[in-house]
Amino acid sequence: MSSLKNRRYLDALLKQPIDRTPVWMMRQAGRYLPEYRELRAQAGDFMSLCKNPELACEVTLQPLRRYPLDAAILFSDILTIPDAMGLGLYFETGEGPKFERTVNNLSDVKSLKNLDPNQDLKYVMDAVSTIHKALDGDVPLIGFSGSPWTLATYMVEGGSTRQFAKIKKMAFQSPEILHALLNKLATSVIDYLNAQIDAGAQAVQIFDTWGGVLTPKDYREFSLDYMAKIVDGLHRTKNGEKVPVVLFTKGGGLWLEQIAATGCDGVGLDWSIDIGDARSRIGDKVALQGNMDPAILHGTPERIRSEVSSILESYGQGTGHVFNLGHGITPDVKPENAGAFIQAVTELSSVYHNK
């Protein structure tokens, strides 16, 4: 049996009885916390934090010291894989991630390094094992990766984009190139997440940040099919314990049934869908994670509490709900407002559970 002192998060994903709804926040370790900004300033830059296992551990633990969260999530970045493949990741102040080299043709795809995550991304695995040891069973640790489609958008575009012109041109002019890239990335993500599980991650999440920019047909072809391949390739148990996997497509509310059919344990929801509607569609098959609009955290404590109450009521009685934001907490949120959110979930959710 598990030595975890708090299993709410895992039990909710596995639809086991719980005493209250578990809660964590996407980007819960980040710039909204003054202690994070202080440590980042000491480290020099974002990637220096990510690549130092002790600092990554410290950042991961910071929000757990402030709030009664039910899970920790590895402090890292979704772009570690393309960086390790040799594209030269760097960050421009105010502009987000960029790559020195981009993927434009089949030759570029073939020249990408075949990853051994325990060698090429050893700093991530060292961070996972360091964090897992430091948590000492208090809460489970979530590992994660970007989806192949989302990683490919950055690798082809060279950074953030609003138009997705280059990646869509490749998809519609030269789909064989994009499929070669996505296949390579899917294999890398499988190996990467399995290595995280081996190092101590007790659940994993795939972030498909840009799946929602595709048509339904193209979403299936270029995003969902590759996430399904990853789900099939993951280690789903370790030491006799199930290792849940959550798929989160931002803007994916149209495709919940197809996402649930991949065999994942949980589906992440953004704020554009009512969680009660989502439960009526797929809640008998999978757990749901979400889905408060992060912007609500700019409201008053009363407004935040009201929104939490509304989402809990919409989901209704029983297990299978992991409370979260519909996307990452933003840097300009006041820490006390995040605290009001988490407090509201812990205080208001027990009436929805019989345990």
Supply the pLDDT for residue 340. 98
- Domain assignments of the chain as residue spans, ordered by start: 28-282
For residue 94, pLDDT beyond 80: no
Q: What whole-number distance in Å separates Cα of residue 316 and Cα of residue 134?
A: 35
- Out of 46-50, 129-133, 227-231, 271-275, pick the least confident: 46-50
- What average pLDDT score do residues 125-137 get? 98
pLDDT digit string (tens) for 294-318? 999 999 999 999 999 999 999 999 9
What is residue 3's predicted lDDT score, i.e. its pLDDT? Answer: 82
Give tens-digit pLDDT for 225-241: 999 999 999 999 999 99
| Whether residue 81 has pLDDT greater than 60 | yes
- pLDDT interval class at 72 (50, 70, 90): very high
User: Is 154 labeled as ligand-binding?
Assistant: yes
- Whether pTM > 0.85 for this model: the answer is yes
The mean of the pLDDT values for the chain is 96
Residue 209 marked as a ligand binder: yes
Q: Which two tokens stand for residue 11?
A: 């039990």
Q: Is the pLDDT of residue 2 over 70?
A: no
The pLDDT value recorded for residue 95 is: 74
SS3 string of the chain?
Answer: CCCCCCCHHHHHHCCCCCCCCCECCCCCCCCCCHHHHHHHHHHCCHHHHHCCHHHHHHHHHHHHHHCCCCCEECCCCCCHHHHHHHHCEEEECCCEEEECCCCCCHHHHHHCCCCCHHHHCHHHHHHHHHHHHHHCCCCCEEEEEECHHHHHHHHHHCECCCCCHHHHHHHHHCHHHHHHHHHHHHHHHHHHHHHHHHHCCCEEEEEECCHHHCCHHHHHHHHHHHHHHHHHHCCCEECCEECCEEEEECCCHHHHHHHHCCCCCEEECCCCCCHHHHHHHHCCCCEEEEEECHHHHHCCHHHHHHHHHHHHHHHCCCCCEEEEECCCCCCCCCHHHHHHHHHHHHHHCHHHCCC
Contacts of 42 (CB under 8 A, 6+ apart): none
**pLDDT of 57 strictly over 80:** yes
Structure tokens at 272: 């554009």
- Omega of the bond prior to 324 within 30 degrees of 0, cis? no
pLDDT value at position 1?
A: 40
327 is in an annotated binding site: yes
- For residue 29, say whether it is annotated as part of any ligand binding site: yes
Q: Which residues lie closer than 8 Å to 80 by C-beta, 6 or more apart? A: 50, 89, 121, 124, 192
Residue 27, marked binder: yes
Q: How far is CA 336 from the centre of its chain?
A: 23
CATH placement of domain 28-282: 3.20.20.210
Mean pLDDT computed over 327-332: 97
Q: What is the dihedral of CA 72, 93, 105, 85, to 10 degrees?
A: -40
Residues catalogued as catalytic? 27, 31, 40, 77, 154
Confidence (pLDDT) at 96: 84
Annotated binding residue 77? yes
Binding site annotation covers 199?
A: no
Which tokens is 241 given? 């314990």
Quote the pLDDT of residue 242: 97
